[in-house]
Protein backbone atom coordinates (compact mmCIF):
# COMPACT_ATOMS: atom_id res chain seq x y z
CA UNK A 1 0.00 0.00 0.00
CA UNK A 2 1.36 3.46 -0.91
CA UNK A 3 1.70 6.06 1.83
CA UNK A 4 1.38 9.73 0.77
CA UNK A 5 3.66 12.29 2.37
CA UNK A 6 1.97 15.57 3.25
CA UNK A 7 3.46 18.70 1.68
CA UNK A 8 3.42 21.47 4.36
CA UNK A 9 3.57 24.17 1.68
CA UNK A 10 0.31 22.93 0.17
CA UNK A 11 -1.66 24.27 3.15
CA UNK A 12 0.21 27.55 3.30
CA UNK A 13 1.57 26.73 6.77
CA UNK A 14 5.14 25.86 5.88
CA UNK A 15 8.13 27.40 7.65
CA UNK A 16 8.61 29.98 4.91
CA UNK A 17 5.02 31.17 5.00
CA UNK A 18 4.92 31.27 8.82
CA UNK A 19 8.17 33.20 8.98
CA UNK A 20 6.95 35.68 6.39
CA UNK A 21 3.72 36.21 8.26
CA UNK A 22 5.60 36.81 11.49
CA UNK A 23 7.91 39.29 9.79
CA UNK A 24 4.95 41.15 8.31
CA UNK A 25 3.28 41.34 11.72
CA UNK A 26 6.50 42.60 13.27
CA UNK A 27 6.97 45.23 10.57
CA UNK A 28 3.41 46.51 11.11
CA UNK A 29 3.20 46.29 14.90
CA UNK A 30 6.80 47.07 15.82
CA UNK A 31 6.83 50.77 14.83
CA UNK A 32 3.45 51.30 16.51
CA UNK A 33 4.62 49.69 19.73
CA UNK A 34 7.96 51.51 19.64
CA UNK A 35 6.33 54.93 19.33
CA UNK A 36 3.82 54.24 22.08
CA UNK A 37 6.59 52.78 24.27
CA UNK A 38 8.57 56.02 24.15
CA UNK A 39 5.57 58.04 25.36
CA UNK A 40 4.55 55.47 27.99
CA UNK A 41 8.16 55.18 29.12
CA UNK A 42 8.31 58.92 29.78
CA UNK A 43 4.99 58.74 31.62
CA UNK A 44 6.34 55.89 33.74
CA UNK A 45 9.54 57.79 34.45
CA UNK A 46 7.50 60.87 35.51
CA UNK A 47 9.09 63.10 32.88
CA UNK A 48 7.70 65.02 29.93
CA UNK A 49 10.70 64.24 27.74
CA UNK A 50 11.39 66.14 24.55
CA UNK A 51 9.36 66.86 21.43
CA UNK A 52 7.17 65.11 20.34
CA UNK A 53 6.57 63.41 23.70
CA UNK A 54 4.98 66.40 25.56
CA UNK A 55 2.61 66.98 22.65
CA UNK A 56 1.61 63.30 22.50
CA UNK A 57 1.19 63.02 26.27
CA UNK A 58 -1.75 65.41 26.06
CA UNK A 59 -3.61 62.75 24.07
CA UNK A 60 -2.35 59.71 26.01
CA UNK A 61 -5.74 57.89 26.18
CA UNK A 62 -5.88 57.85 22.38
CA UNK A 63 -2.65 55.86 22.26
CA UNK A 64 -4.89 52.89 23.00
CA UNK A 65 -5.86 52.97 19.30
CA UNK A 66 -2.42 52.32 17.73
CA UNK A 67 -1.62 49.88 20.53
CA UNK A 68 -4.77 47.85 19.88
CA UNK A 69 -4.09 47.92 16.14
CA UNK A 70 -0.57 46.65 16.70
CA UNK A 71 -1.87 43.91 18.96
CA UNK A 72 -4.23 42.73 16.22
CA UNK A 73 -1.28 42.52 13.81
CA UNK A 74 0.70 40.42 16.28
CA UNK A 75 -2.19 38.02 16.86
CA UNK A 76 -2.84 37.61 13.14
CA UNK A 77 0.85 36.91 12.58
CA UNK A 78 1.15 34.72 15.69
CA UNK A 79 4.05 36.88 16.85
CA UNK A 80 3.74 36.04 20.51
CA UNK A 81 6.64 38.15 21.74
CA UNK A 82 4.99 41.16 20.14
CA UNK A 83 1.65 40.20 21.64
CA UNK A 84 3.17 40.26 25.13
CA UNK A 85 4.66 43.68 24.33
CA UNK A 86 1.27 44.98 23.20
CA UNK A 87 -0.60 43.61 26.21
CA UNK A 88 1.95 45.23 28.54
CA UNK A 89 1.45 48.59 26.82
CA UNK A 90 -2.33 48.30 27.05
CA UNK A 91 -2.03 47.57 30.76
CA UNK A 92 0.19 50.58 31.39
CA UNK A 93 -2.07 52.88 29.38
CA UNK A 94 -5.13 51.67 31.29
CA UNK A 95 -3.29 52.34 34.57
CA UNK A 96 -2.27 55.86 33.58
CA UNK A 97 -5.72 56.77 32.28
CA UNK A 98 -7.02 56.57 35.84
CA UNK A 99 -7.42 60.03 37.44
CA UNK A 100 -4.35 61.44 39.16
CA UNK A 101 -4.27 63.32 42.45
CA UNK A 102 -6.04 63.28 45.77
CA UNK A 103 -9.73 63.50 46.50
CA UNK A 104 -11.70 63.75 49.71
CA UNK A 105 -14.24 65.81 51.55
CA UNK A 106 -13.10 68.93 53.40
CA UNK A 107 -13.22 68.98 57.16
CA UNK A 108 -15.14 71.63 59.04
CA UNK A 109 -18.51 73.23 58.37
CA UNK A 110 -19.32 75.06 55.10
CA UNK A 111 -18.85 78.80 55.43
CA UNK A 112 -19.21 80.21 51.89
CA UNK A 113 -20.33 79.37 48.35
CA UNK A 114 -18.81 80.63 45.14
CA UNK A 115 -19.15 79.83 41.46
CA UNK A 116 -16.06 80.03 39.28
CA UNK A 117 -15.86 80.31 35.50
CA UNK A 118 -12.68 80.10 33.43
CA UNK A 119 -12.45 80.72 29.69
CA UNK A 120 -9.78 81.19 27.04
CA UNK A 121 -11.42 83.53 24.53
CA UNK A 122 -8.73 83.03 21.82
CA UNK A 123 -7.28 86.48 21.17
CA UNK A 124 -10.52 88.08 22.37
CA UNK A 125 -12.60 86.59 19.56
CA UNK A 126 -15.12 84.94 21.92
CA UNK A 127 -15.58 87.98 24.17
CA UNK A 128 -19.23 88.46 23.21
CA UNK A 129 -20.03 84.79 23.78
CA UNK A 130 -18.25 84.92 27.14
CA UNK A 131 -20.25 87.95 28.25
CA UNK A 132 -23.46 86.10 27.38
CA UNK A 133 -22.26 83.03 29.29
CA UNK A 134 -21.35 85.12 32.33
CA UNK A 135 -24.78 86.71 32.38
CA UNK A 136 -26.41 83.31 32.04
CA UNK A 137 -24.26 81.36 34.55
CA UNK A 138 -23.78 84.22 37.06
CA UNK A 139 -20.38 83.14 38.41
CA UNK A 140 -18.86 84.98 41.35
CA UNK A 141 -15.32 84.91 39.93
CA UNK A 142 -14.33 84.88 36.25
CA UNK A 143 -10.86 83.99 34.94
CA UNK A 144 -10.32 85.15 31.33
CA UNK A 145 -7.28 84.23 29.25
CA UNK A 146 -6.18 85.79 25.93
CA UNK A 147 -8.25 88.87 26.74
CA UNK A 148 -6.53 91.51 24.62
CA UNK A 149 -7.29 95.23 24.67
CA UNK A 150 -10.71 95.14 22.96
CA UNK A 151 -11.79 92.23 25.15
CA UNK A 152 -10.68 94.09 28.27
CA UNK A 153 -12.60 97.18 27.19
CA UNK A 154 -15.74 95.14 26.47
CA UNK A 155 -15.62 93.46 29.87
CA UNK A 156 -15.26 96.85 31.55
CA UNK A 157 -18.17 98.24 29.58
CA UNK A 158 -20.57 95.31 29.94
CA UNK A 159 -19.74 93.70 33.28
CA UNK A 160 -18.39 96.33 35.67
CA UNK A 161 -21.72 96.79 37.44
CA UNK A 162 -21.96 93.07 38.26
CA UNK A 163 -18.19 92.64 38.78
CA UNK A 164 -16.82 95.82 40.32
CA UNK A 165 -13.52 94.21 41.34
CA UNK A 166 -10.84 93.15 38.88
CA UNK A 167 -7.18 92.28 38.55
CA UNK A 168 -5.65 92.25 35.10
CA UNK A 169 -2.50 92.11 33.02
CA UNK A 170 -3.03 94.23 29.92
CA UNK A 171 -1.66 92.94 26.64
CA UNK A 172 -2.37 92.30 22.99
CA UNK A 173 -2.99 88.95 21.34
CA UNK A 174 -2.69 86.12 23.84
CA UNK A 175 -0.87 88.17 26.50
CA UNK A 176 -3.82 89.85 28.22
CA UNK A 177 -5.61 88.20 31.15
CA UNK A 178 -8.34 89.36 33.53
CA UNK A 179 -9.82 88.19 36.83
CA UNK A 180 -13.32 89.58 37.52
CA UNK A 181 -14.93 89.25 40.94
CA UNK A 182 -18.06 90.12 42.86
CA UNK A 183 -15.92 89.95 45.99
CA UNK A 184 -13.43 92.65 47.02
CA UNK A 185 -9.91 91.90 45.82
CA UNK A 186 -6.46 92.67 47.13
CA UNK A 187 -3.85 92.54 44.41
CA UNK A 188 -0.89 90.17 44.65
CA UNK A 189 2.18 89.92 42.47
CA UNK A 190 0.71 87.16 40.33
CA UNK A 191 3.00 84.76 38.47
CA UNK A 192 5.50 86.04 35.90
CA UNK A 193 5.10 84.56 32.45
CA UNK A 194 5.10 85.21 28.74
CA UNK A 195 1.33 85.64 28.95
CA UNK A 196 -0.40 87.46 31.79
CA UNK A 197 -1.10 85.51 34.98
CA UNK A 198 -2.58 87.96 37.52
CA UNK A 199 -3.34 87.04 41.11
CA UNK A 200 -5.36 88.42 43.99
CA UNK A 201 -6.79 87.61 47.41
CA UNK A 202 -10.58 87.75 47.54
CA UNK A 203 -12.66 88.52 50.60
CA UNK A 204 -15.31 85.79 50.28
CA UNK A 205 -17.89 86.56 52.94
CA UNK A 206 -15.11 87.48 55.38
CA UNK A 207 -12.79 84.60 54.41
CA UNK A 208 -9.58 85.21 52.44
CA UNK A 209 -9.26 83.11 49.27
CA UNK A 210 -6.23 83.21 46.99
CA UNK A 211 -7.12 83.58 43.31
CA UNK A 212 -4.47 82.86 40.70
CA UNK A 213 -4.98 82.79 36.95
CA UNK A 214 -2.96 80.20 35.01
CA UNK A 215 -1.86 80.61 31.41
CA UNK A 216 1.63 79.23 30.78
CA UNK A 217 3.03 78.95 27.29
CA UNK A 218 1.97 75.85 25.32
CA UNK A 219 4.54 73.09 24.72
CA UNK A 220 5.44 74.14 21.19
CA UNK A 221 8.28 72.07 19.72
CA UNK A 222 10.87 74.80 20.31
CA UNK A 223 9.45 76.04 23.63
CA UNK A 224 9.08 72.94 25.80
CA UNK A 225 11.63 74.27 28.30
CA UNK A 226 9.74 77.56 28.63
CA UNK A 227 6.45 75.69 29.10
CA UNK A 228 8.01 73.62 31.88
CA UNK A 229 9.50 76.68 33.61
CA UNK A 230 6.20 78.54 33.62
CA UNK A 231 4.31 75.54 34.95
CA UNK A 232 7.04 75.31 37.58
CA UNK A 233 6.34 78.91 38.61
CA UNK A 234 2.66 78.05 39.03
CA UNK A 235 3.71 75.09 41.14
CA UNK A 236 5.87 77.35 43.32
CA UNK A 237 3.01 79.82 43.70
CA UNK A 238 0.65 77.02 44.75
CA UNK A 239 3.15 75.78 47.33
CA UNK A 240 4.03 79.23 48.68
CA UNK A 241 0.98 79.55 50.96
CA UNK A 242 -0.79 76.34 51.88
CA UNK A 243 -2.65 77.91 54.79
CA UNK A 244 -4.91 80.16 52.70
CA UNK A 245 -7.73 78.57 50.68
CA UNK A 246 -6.70 78.72 47.02
CA UNK A 247 -8.32 78.65 43.58
CA UNK A 248 -5.87 78.29 40.68
CA UNK A 249 -7.74 78.36 37.37
CA UNK A 250 -7.21 78.87 33.68
CA UNK A 251 -5.71 77.37 30.55
CA UNK A 252 -2.77 75.31 31.81
CA UNK A 253 -1.81 74.00 28.36
CA UNK A 254 -1.28 70.71 30.19
CA UNK A 255 -3.23 67.64 31.24
CA UNK A 256 -2.85 65.18 34.10
CA UNK A 257 -0.54 63.14 31.86
CA UNK A 258 2.12 65.87 31.98
CA UNK A 259 4.62 65.58 34.81
CA UNK A 260 4.87 69.36 35.16
CA UNK A 261 1.12 69.58 35.78
CA UNK A 262 1.10 66.66 38.21
CA UNK A 263 3.70 68.49 40.29
CA UNK A 264 1.18 71.30 40.74
CA UNK A 265 -1.37 68.78 42.00
CA UNK A 266 1.29 67.35 44.30
CA UNK A 267 1.26 70.61 46.27
CA UNK A 268 -2.13 69.51 47.61
CA UNK A 269 -4.42 71.11 45.05
CA UNK A 270 -7.27 69.10 43.59
CA UNK A 271 -8.90 69.26 40.19
CA UNK A 272 -12.47 70.47 40.69
CA UNK A 273 -13.71 68.67 37.57
CA UNK A 274 -12.36 65.39 38.91
CA UNK A 275 -14.00 65.99 42.29
CA UNK A 276 -17.31 66.16 40.41
CA UNK A 277 -16.56 63.11 38.27
CA UNK A 278 -15.80 65.03 35.07
CA UNK A 279 -12.11 64.25 34.72
CA UNK A 280 -10.79 63.87 31.15
CA UNK A 281 -13.67 65.83 29.65
CA UNK A 282 -11.97 67.45 26.62
CA UNK A 283 -11.68 71.23 26.60
CA UNK A 284 -9.34 71.70 23.60
CA UNK A 285 -9.42 71.80 20.59
CA UNK A 286 -13.16 72.34 20.82
CA UNK A 287 -13.52 73.73 17.31
CA UNK A 288 -11.64 71.21 15.18
CA UNK A 289 -11.73 67.88 17.04
CA UNK A 290 -13.79 68.18 20.23
CA UNK A 291 -14.28 64.44 20.73
CA UNK A 292 -10.57 63.72 20.46
CA UNK A 293 -9.29 66.58 22.59
CA UNK A 294 -7.60 66.91 25.94
CA UNK A 295 -8.61 68.53 29.21
CA UNK A 296 -6.12 71.38 29.54
CA UNK A 297 -8.44 73.98 31.13
CA UNK A 298 -8.76 73.40 34.86
CA UNK A 299 -10.03 74.81 38.12
CA UNK A 300 -7.69 73.60 40.87
CA UNK A 301 -8.67 74.09 44.49
CA UNK A 302 -7.10 73.51 47.89
CA UNK A 303 -8.55 70.87 50.19
CA UNK A 304 -10.69 73.54 51.86
CA UNK A 305 -13.17 73.26 48.97
CA UNK A 306 -15.81 70.83 47.86
CA UNK A 307 -16.80 70.96 44.18
CA UNK A 308 -20.01 70.13 42.35
CA UNK A 309 -21.84 70.84 39.09
CA UNK A 310 -18.81 71.12 36.82
CA UNK A 311 -20.11 72.20 33.41
CA UNK A 312 -18.21 72.61 30.16
CA UNK A 313 -19.57 75.32 27.88
CA UNK A 314 -19.15 75.41 24.11
CA UNK A 315 -18.54 79.03 23.14
CA UNK A 316 -18.33 80.12 19.50
CA UNK A 317 -15.16 81.76 18.15
CA UNK A 318 -12.74 80.03 20.52
CA UNK A 319 -10.99 76.66 20.41
CA UNK A 320 -11.40 76.17 24.18
CA UNK A 321 -14.46 75.12 26.12
CA UNK A 322 -15.23 77.23 29.17
CA UNK A 323 -15.50 75.53 32.56
CA UNK A 324 -17.96 76.49 35.30
CA UNK A 325 -17.86 74.86 38.72
CA UNK A 326 -19.64 75.48 42.02
CA UNK A 327 -17.38 75.48 45.05
CA UNK A 328 -18.13 75.30 48.76
CA UNK A 329 -15.55 76.68 51.17
CA UNK A 330 -15.24 74.84 54.48
CA UNK A 331 -13.72 76.20 57.66
CA UNK A 332 -10.74 74.57 59.32
CA UNK A 333 -8.51 71.69 58.26
Digitized pLDDT (tens) for each residue of the chain, 333 residues in all: 454 444 444 444 555 566 676 777 778 899 999 999 999 999 999 999 999 999 999 999 999 999 999 999 999 889 999 999 999 999 999 999 999 998 988 989 999 999 999 999 999 999 999 999 999 999 999 999 999 999 999 999 999 999 999 999 999 999 999 999 999 999 999 999 999 999 999 999 999 999 999 999 999 999 999 999 999 999 999 999 999 999 999 999 999 999 999 999 999 999 999 999 999 999 999 887 777 899 999 999 999 999 999 999 999 999 999 999 999 999 975
User: What is d(CA 56, CA 22) in angstroms, rounded to the nearest whole number?
Assistant: 29
pLDDT at residue 19, rounded to an integer: 65
Residues facing residue 56 across a β-bridge: none
User: What is d(CA 83, CA 71) in angstroms, rounded to the nearest whole number?
Assistant: 6
pLDDT at residue 288, rounded to an integer: 77
Under 8 Å between Cβ of 110 and 305: no
pLDDT at residue 13, rounded to an integer: 53
3-state secondary structure of 319: coil
User: What is d(CA 170, CA 135) in angstroms, rounded to the nearest whole number?
Assistant: 23
N residues, the chain: 333
**What is the pTM for the complete model shown?**
0.91
pLDDT at residue 321, rounded to an integer: 97
Closest CA to 180 of 153, 148, 151, 140: 140
Amino acid sequence: MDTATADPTATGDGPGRTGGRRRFGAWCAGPLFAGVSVVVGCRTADTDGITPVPQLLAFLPWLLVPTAAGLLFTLAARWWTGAVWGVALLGLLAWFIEPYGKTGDPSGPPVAELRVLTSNVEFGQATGALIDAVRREEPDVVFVQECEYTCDAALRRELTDAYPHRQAVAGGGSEGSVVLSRFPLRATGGVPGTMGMPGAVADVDGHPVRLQLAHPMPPLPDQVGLWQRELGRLRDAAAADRDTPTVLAGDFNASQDHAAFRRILDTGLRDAARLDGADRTPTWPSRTAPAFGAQIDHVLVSEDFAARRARFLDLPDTDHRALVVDLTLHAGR
